[in-house]
Structure formats: structure tokens, C-alpha cells
Amino acid sequence: MSTEIVINQVNMRFGKGDKAVTALSDINLDIPSGEIVSLLGPSGCGKSTLLRLIADLLEPSAGKIEVENESPRQARLQRKFGIIFQQPTLLEWRNVVDNVSLPLEFTGHSRKERKQIAMEQLRMVGLEKFAGHYPWQLSGGMQQRVAIARALTFNPPMLLMDEPFSALDEFTKERLHLEVIRIQEQTRKTVVFVTHSIPEAVFLSNRVIVLSAHPGKVKHNLSIELPGKRDLQIREHPAFFEYTTKVRSCFGEGAYDEDLLV
Ligand code: ADP
Ligand code: MG
């Protein structure tokens, strides 16, 4: 299995002097290609910071990150990843297809090409019938699927997802988990998925990276091998409970400190 993202001795500090916060300390990590890898940890442990470093939205204070053997900057400029955040951040005055095709407006694609590509990605998330709808006509889950379609516009080899379903109800969340698994199986993209939910991480991932807080460090790197297909039934399987228990035990007592419960 080739390696997509290599993180080498990365440190991230915010601020200076007394007010400095070490968000990440000595992070070493290889993220293989074609897998779903979760970054899991309590609030404030540096998950979003790590994802932003990979995405070139931040620069590390020390250490090095390589994305497909290049710097995050080069990877970003070549549109190697699509990013999905907790909020779909759609433009209210644009319909669904025009939201999805937005990134293509800066790259010289013709109107016809833009529409064709956007429709392809809407088909990928099962929303082609809603192309003419406006964001406010869609449920939260559908809006997030539009955001996924938008992240797919350049057909990037990587998807970076930062707690994309945290604001959604359980039922919608479960459907979207299946959607992510299906899209990943169909496209073989590398998915880096940030979450603070243990069952979500275990259900989705081939690998779970457990982070601890203050400062953020990699505590464990666990391969998840569930027997059989990842469908809703697998959550009833003893192996699923074994993994969630194992992951939970990685955090130890410290994870339940009051200041970490947000
Ligand atoms: P998580 O996503 O795991 O909840 P974050 O990566 O957002 O954690 O934050 C990790 C730590 O870095 C926290 O202590 C947070 O307050 C701090 N931090 C994050 N971004 C900034 C910033 N732009 N300026 C100062 N501190 C920050
Ligand atoms: Mg975060």
C-alpha cells in the first residue's frame, strides 16, 4: 500500500510568549492511500489543526508534511484534495448545481463543461434530481451532500473531512456514513476524517489515529478490520464492540477530565 501523506516531526504552536499554545507536538504519521483514516480525539486535541496543516491552510512551526511526495502547497495548487467542514457553507443565492460548479469558474471551464462535471458529482451523492433547488430548500444532510459533491468537482485523490456530520441528527449521520463508504469504495480515494466520536471512527475507518490533548500527540495508530461489509448491521457485530472498547481504552481516564468535555 503506497503512502499518500507523510507527517514528520510536526509541531504546531499558536501565539507567542506566555500566551503560546502548543496545539501539536512531535507528530509522526503515515497515511496510506486508498483508505479511510480517522483522526480521533477529544475537543481541543489538535485534529482540525492537523487537517489544516495537511490542507495548506496552516504552516507547521516545525517539521515537514508531504502529500503525494510534494509539499501541501503544491498539492493544494494541483487540487489534490477536496475539503469538507462541519458547515456546508453553500451560497444561498445559487442553486445546487451552481454551488457545486463554483470551483470550476476559476479554472476556465466552459459553462457547459461546468454543468456536466457538477451533474456527475451530484449523481455521485445521489442528488441529481435536486440540481435546480436552492440550499434553503434542502435538509441539513442534503446540504452536506452538496458540499461533498463540491469537494469532488476536481475529482481529487483525497478528501479531507473535518467533523462533517457533527451537526446532523443520528439517522442522517448514519446514512451519510454509508454514503462516504460507498463513494470511497467506488472511487478509491484517500479519506482523512476528523471526528470526536469513537463509533463513527470505528465504523468508517480502515485506520484510527488516536490523539491526546495538551499538547496534541499521536497516542495510538490502530488498524480496524471488521469482518464483512460495512453496513448498519456490522454495528451489532461483537468485533465492532471490541474495537470501540479498545479505542476507548486508548484514552484512559484523562480523556474524561472536565475541561475536555465540551
Ligand atoms: P480540535 O479540532 O481537536 O478540537 P483544534 O485543532 O481546533 O482542536 O485546536 C487545538 C488547540 O489549538 C486548541 O487548544 C485551540 O485552542 C488551539 N488553536 C487552534 N487554532 C488556533 C488559532 N488559530 N490560534 C490560537 N490557538 C488555536
Ligand atoms: Mg476541530
For the chain, the structural domain boundaries read: 3-80+157-261, 91-155
Task: Supply the DSSP symbol for 216.
Answer: B
Q: Whose CA is nearest to atom 10 of ligand 1?
A: 46
Stretch 65-91: mean pLDDT, rounded? 96
Please tell me if the CB atom of residue 12 comes closer than 6 angstroms to any atom of ligand 1.
no
Q: How far is CA 17 from CA 10, 14, 25, 189, 192, in A?
A: 20, 10, 17, 41, 32
Please tell me if the CB atom of residue 46 comes closer than 6 angstroms to any atom of ligand 1.
yes
Q: Which residues surround ligand 2, an ion (CB under 5 A)?
A: 48
Average pLDDT score, the chain: 93
Please tell me if the CB atom of residue 43 comes closer than 6 angstroms to any atom of ligand 1.
yes
CATH 3.40.50.300 matches 3-80+157-261: yes
Please tell me if the CB atom of residue 47 comes closer than 6 angstroms to any atom of ligand 1.
yes
- Radius of gyration of the chain, Cα coordinates, nearest whole angstrom: 19
Dist CA 198 CA 60 (whole Å): 27
Instruction: Record the cell numbers describing residue 127, joined without a space.
Output: 442528488
Please tell me if the CB atom of residue 15 comes closer than 6 angstroms to any atom of ligand 1.
yes
Instruction: Compute, in angstroms, the gap from residue 41 CA to the centroid of ligand 2.
Output: 10
Q: Whose CA is nearest to atom 11 of ligand 1?
A: 23
Q: How far is CA 258 from CA 43, 166, 253, 261, in A?
A: 11, 21, 11, 5
Q: Which of 21, 219, 261 for a ligand 1 pocket mutation test, highest count of atoms within 8 Å of Cβ?
A: 21
> Going edge to edge, which strands form the sheet with 21-32?
21-32, 3-14, 62-67
Ligand at minimal distance from the CA of 27 is 1
CB atoms within 10 A of CB 176: 19
Q: What is the pLDDT of residue 162?
A: 98
CB atoms within 10 A of CB 58: 17
Ligand 1 closest atom vs CA 214: 14
Question: Measured at the alpha carbon of residue 118, what is the angle toward residues 147 and 114, in degrees to the nearest 5?
Answer: 130
Dist CA 250 CA 55 (whole Å): 27
Ligand 1 closest atom vs CA 162: 2
Instruction: Compute, in angstroms, the gap from residue 212 CA to the centroid of ligand 2.
Output: 13
Dist CA 109 CA 115 (whole Å): 10
Instruction: Compute, in angstroms, the gap from residue 86 CA to the centroid of ligand 2.
Output: 9
Ligand 1 closest atom vs CA 42: 3
Q: Whose CA is nearest to atom 14 of ligand 1?
A: 44
Q: What is the pLDDT of residues 231-258, one digit of tens each?
A: 989 999 999 999 999 999 988 765 555 4
Please tell me if the CB atom of residue 21 comes closer than 6 angstroms to any atom of ligand 1.
yes
Torsion angle (degrees, nearest 10) of CA 191, 197, 199, 205 = 10
Q: What is the pLDDT of residues 7-34, one digit of tens each?
A: 999 999 999 988 899 999 999 999 999 9
Look at residue 260 and tell me whether its pLDDT is greater than 50. Answer: no
Q: What is the pLDDT of residues 98-156, one digit of tens each?
A: 999 999 998 889 999 999 999 999 999 999 999 999 999 999 999 999 999 999 999 99
Question: Measured at the alpha carbon of residue 83, what is the angle toward residues 137 and 190, in degrees to the nearest 5?
Answer: 120
Q: Whose CA is nearest to atom 1 of ligand 1?
A: 44
Give this prediction's pTM: 0.94
